[in-house]
Amino acid sequence: MGSTERIRNVAKRVAKWARAGHQMVVVPSAMSGETNRLLALAKELAPPKADDAFHRELDQLAATGEQASSALLAIALQAEGMAAVSYSGWQVAIKTNSAYTKARIESIDDARVRADLAAGKVVIITGFQGVDEAGNVTTLGRGGSDTSAVAVAAAMKAQECLIYTDVDGVYTTDPRVVPEARRLKTVSFEEMLEMASLGSKVLQIRSVEFAGKYKVPLRVLSSFTPWDIDIHEEAKSGTLISFEEDENMEQAVVSGIAFNRDEAKISLLGVPDTPGIAYQILGAVAQANIEVDMIIQNVSHEGKTDFSFTVHRNDFARATDLLKSDIATKLGARQVVGDAKICKVSIVGIGMRSHVGVASKMFRALSEEGINIQMISTSEIKTSVVIDEKYMELAVRALHKAFDLDQQPA
Amino acid sequence: MGSTERIRNVAKRVAKWARAGHQMVVVPSAMSGETNRLLALAKELAPPKADDAFHRELDQLAATGEQASSALLAIALQAEGMAAVSYSGWQVAIKTNSAYTKARIESIDDARVRADLAAGKVVIITGFQGVDEAGNVTTLGRGGSDTSAVAVAAAMKAQECLIYTDVDGVYTTDPRVVPEARRLKTVSFEEMLEMASLGSKVLQIRSVEFAGKYKVPLRVLSSFTPWDIDIHEEAKSGTLISFEEDENMEQAVVSGIAFNRDEAKISLLGVPDTPGIAYQILGAVAQANIEVDMIIQNVSHEGKTDFSFTVHRNDFARATDLLKSDIATKLGARQVVGDAKICKVSIVGIGMRSHVGVASKMFRALSEEGINIQMISTSEIKTSVVIDEKYMELAVRALHKAFDLDQQPA
């Protein structure tokens, strides 16, 4: 929420829903720029070493942003003639663990909220924050408002959790790369997880996981839609992330194309194919606090195999050094090679589970464009390839077309 | 507290005290301008009718200012190498009644704070706010940070409560009127109450009352003093508001001259001197929500008396109308007369209790300047006169000199 004008529009939209007979719980984010402003002040004053005590104060500070915006939204709703009340995380209470700045929600007490709803009030709950066992304020980390909303929806057993964002839904791929990209009316939870983790930054991945765990139907829709559009139209807008596999979903084999150019690949060539080799390599990498995404090991050849994985591009140099200086020698690997100029392109679709030939269709489409595939990794609902980064847009467009994603499914 | 620079200086000052062996509890106000900024946002969005639900949200909103400044001060202290933790009102907890925007503190639970102090931490507690029985955030009203500080000091049985303000203490009178005005090293609680209510806006009157109730020694000192001045010098700076009558206090008969030109006087002339007359007049005035300050009734003359009182100048027209249109007729008063161009000048001093002739010395000093006294009202430690407002500065200067207030007491 930006200006008071923006808050007023949110209030009008909520009032519209409430007047249509819905019991409404609203989880606002802070006013835009507010969290950054507060954290910048903290940064100016910060101690040299960021310990737990410091992170506790950061949370105590950052939580004020949502408390303020929630109170302002309650006031704006009252101005609309609605009974409204706002609660901070500790007032609900939203209980979390004590991992300051990245706390996890443990429980939500819904008694107070239910009583207010029954009394005809709109209830506003601060996003992004909670309270730990000892009564300290905690925050869930950036984007935590989405997670709070889903958690509250789960606790309240809400019919649907509407997430208003700055995009109007989930697309078959990034419309900036493929202008024909189409908004999906529904997407399965599993597909959304793959899309989110593969770089569609529509929703924070934790909020999707939370929704999956508690089977909360999530709708992603645009906060830029005028507040006074027809409520039935609004109720069908955006993209519904569903947990029920209806027929609609089965129709499209592939739902979307995800891509990511933040990765780099590293291979150890000619390592002995003995038990524990994967652990010996990746255990050392994990100890260096380097996160690994794709992992590929092919069948061995004369007792030797090649082991490859991808890491974030920022960790590429460090990971390569680690392998060259230490692990490769220990394991007797022939060579360490790597490349940061790659990208990962994936097709995602729950329909892939029951359709053969989806991967080969993908490979054919890429080959027709003369794009060489460097690595392949598959799961039940996703096939990812690593290719030269310069082909990324070309590959995404070719796949989008090959799977008819520009066409509305029949 | 203004900028981060200002917060850093507060942290250095607190660290200095803590390092000298003092257990420190700090109650900061919001960063300057912050409370006004938040309330301006609320005003933009406010409903037409300000009810309890609205005031609840105002408090939920306004309380964020102190929560943020408290966390920032904790961070700045950590940067100084001190262990520090900040608490909001509800975390301590500071329990109040439910009178939103003007709540009264009912109790303070000091267990958590004591444990932190024992563990060597500096404890920061948000001023201005608390939590009611039902877990709603409340605020104490403007200037409430002073009251919070005193309440916390009382609960913790603090040795002294230091109130850092934008003045460096309590003066014998306003130095803008009398350049020779002298800072008092100590002033009694009763004198301070009279000074505060008579217009010396050094401290919020409620905080002084609170200090009196719980016998908390209060020191008013300047926040503009460099943080690194000698701690013994700082400990003696400002003005100590004391609850013990030491010899020092007895020496000065009159401690200060207070004045106020915000009042107007109204008289009912020739009202019958019968029981209940005062109530009939002032009951009606009170019902019209007009606050009365001085009230004077002299002995009657032929069964008739004159009844006078002063009100705030803003209420003068309304009070006069009320008397003329209604009360005067009912009571059979001869005439209603009033004057808004008056001022009240008072001498205040706990020593007056045991010294005769103080009032007459006051009247002589005024008469020597040719100033006519219109009304007189006395209490044990104060004598107030109403005079023409044009003589205000002259009267204050004459009294300041007559009582040797420019001289350090022997």
B45 to A76: CB separation less than 8 angstroms, yes or no = yes
Cβ separation B74–A60 shorter than 8 A: yes
Asked if A68 lies within 8 A of B61 by C-beta distance, the reply is: yes
Q: Higher-confidence residue: B169 or B27? A: B27
Mean of all residue pLDDT scores within chain B: 89
Contacts of B129 in chain A (CB under 8 A): none
Token pair, residue A105, equals 């929600």
Inter-chain touch B42–A78, beta carbons under 8 Å: no
How far does the CA of residue A12 sit from the closest CA of chain B (Å)?
Answer: 12
Q: Are A206 and A260 in contact (CB under 8 A)?
A: no
Q: pTM of this prediction?
A: 0.80
Sheet order of strands, A105-108 included: A105-108, A94-96, A129-131, A137-139
Q: Is B394 exposed, middle or buried (0-12, 13-18, 19+ CB in 10 A)?
A: middle
Q: Distance, in angstroms, between A113 CA and closest chain B CA?
A: 13
Mutation target for A interface from B26, B60, B87, B113: give the one with most A CBs within 10 A: B60
C-alpha B384: how far from its chain's center? 18
**Chain A residues within an 8 Å CB radius of B46:** 75, 79
- What is the rounded CA–CA span in Å between residue B135 and residue A87? 10
Do A53 and B85 make contact, defined as CB atoms within 8 angstroms?
Answer: yes
Distances (CA, A) of B12 to A139, A349, B75, B113: 28, 59, 12, 21
- d(CA B298, CA B278) in angstroms, rounded, equals 12
Partner A contacted by B61 (CB < 8 A) = yes
Hey, are the CB atoms on B41 and A74 less than 8 Å from each other? no
Q: Which of B72, B88, B91 sits opposite A45 (nearest CB)?
A: B72
Q: Coil, strand, or helix at residue B129?
A: strand
Q: For chain B, say whether A98 makes contact (Cβ under 8 Å).
A: no
Q: Residue range B134-142: average pLDDT?
A: 90
Q: Between A57, A70, A135, which is nearest B74 by CB?
A: A57
- Pick from A4, A88, A137: CB nearest B44: A4
On whether ipTM exceeds 0.90, the answer is no
E-assigned strand segments in B122-196 = 122-125, 129-131, 137-139, 161-165, 186-188
User: What DSSP line would sit under B7-46, residue for residue?
Assistant: HHHHHHHHHHHHHTT---EE---PPTTHHHHHHHHHHHH-
Name residues 315-374 of chain B within 8 A of A (Cβ): none
Chain B closest CA to A134's CA: distance in Å? 9
Amino acid at B355: H
Instruction: Report residue B89 as tokens.
Output: 């009102």
Distance, CA of A324 to chain centre = 34
Calculate what percentage of chain B has a pLDDT beyond 90: 59
Residue B248 has pLDDT above 80, yes or no: no
Closest residue in chain B to residue A41, using alpha carbons only: B4
Chain B neighbors of A79, CB-CB under 8 A: 45-48
Is the CB of A68 inside 8 Å of chain B's CB atoms? yes
Report, as an integer, the average pLDDT of B98-114.
Answer: 93
What are the chain B neighbours of A78 within 8 Å (beta carbons)? 47, 51, 53-54, 57
CB contact under 8 A, B83 and A38: no
Note the pLDDT tens digit of each residue in B380-399. Answer: 788 889 999 999 999 999 99
User: How far apart are the C-alpha atoms of A172 and A405, rounded to whole Å?
Assistant: 6
Which pLDDT belongs to residue A252?
65
Residue B229's alpha-carbon distances to B226, B236, B247, in angstroms, are 6, 12, 29
Whether residues B72 and A137 touch (CB distance < 8 A) is answered with: no
Is B60's CB within 8 Å of A44's CB?
no
pLDDT tens, N- to C-terminus, chain A (410 residues): 568 999 999 999 999 999 999 999 999 999 989 989 999 999 999 999 999 999 999 999 999 999 999 999 999 999 999 999 999 999 999 999 999 998 989 999 999 999 999 999 999 999 999 999 999 999 997 668 888 999 999 999 999 999 998 888 888 988 888 999 999 998 888 888 887 655 556 777 778 888 888 889 999 999 999 999 999 999 999 999 987 765 554 456 888 999 988 899 999 998 888 877 888 888 888 888 888 888 888 777 788 888 889 999 999 999 999 999 888 888 888 999 999 999 999 999 887 777 777 888 898 899 899 998 888 888 878 888 999 999 999 999 999 999 999 887 76
Domains delineated in chain A: 1-156 (3.40.1160.10)
Rounded CA separation B234/B164 (Å): 11
Rg of chain B over Cα atoms, rounded to whole angstroms, equals: 24
CB of B78 within 8 Å of a chain A CB? The answer is: yes
Label the pairing between strands B186-188 and B239-242.
Answer: parallel
Residue A38: which of B38, B68, B81 has the nearest Cβ? B68
The verdict on a CB contact (< 8 Å) between A86 and B46 is no
Residues in chain A within 8 Å Cβ distance of B76: 45
Convert the pLDDT of each residue in B298-314 to its tens digit.
Answer: 777 788 888 889 999 99
Structure tokens at A183: 């908004």
Could you tell me what percent of chain B has a pLDDT over 70? 95
| Mean of pLDDT over chain A | 89
What residues contact A17, with CB distance under 8 A and at least 6 apart?
A: A24, A231
- For the record, the structure tokens of A147 come out as 């997670």
Cβ neighbors of B375 (< 8 A, separation 6 or more) are B265, B294, B296, B308, B310, B385, B386
Q: Do B64 and A64 touch (CB under 8 A)?
A: yes
Query: 258-277 in A: which are within 8 Å (CB) of B?
Result: none
pLDDT on residue B198: 54
Which residues of chain B neighbour A10 with C-beta distances below 8 Å? none
- Provide, as residue numbers in chain B, all residues whose Cβ is less than 8 Å from the Cβ of A91: 135-137
| Angstrom distance (rounded) from CA A136 to CA A132 | 5
Q: Name every residue whose Cβ is closer than 8 Å to that of residue A296 and which is 6 or more positions away in sequence.
A: A307, A308, A309, A375, A376, A377
A61/B68 Cβ within 8 A: yes
Q: Both ends of chain B: CA-CA distance in Å?
A: 38
Selected residue of B3, B51, B61, B136 to mutate for chain A interface (largest A Cβ count, 10 A): B61
Please list every residue in chain A whose beta carbon sits closer than 8 Å to the beta carbon of residue B45. Answer: 4, 7-8, 11, 72, 75-76, 79
A47–B54 C-beta distance less than 8 A:
no
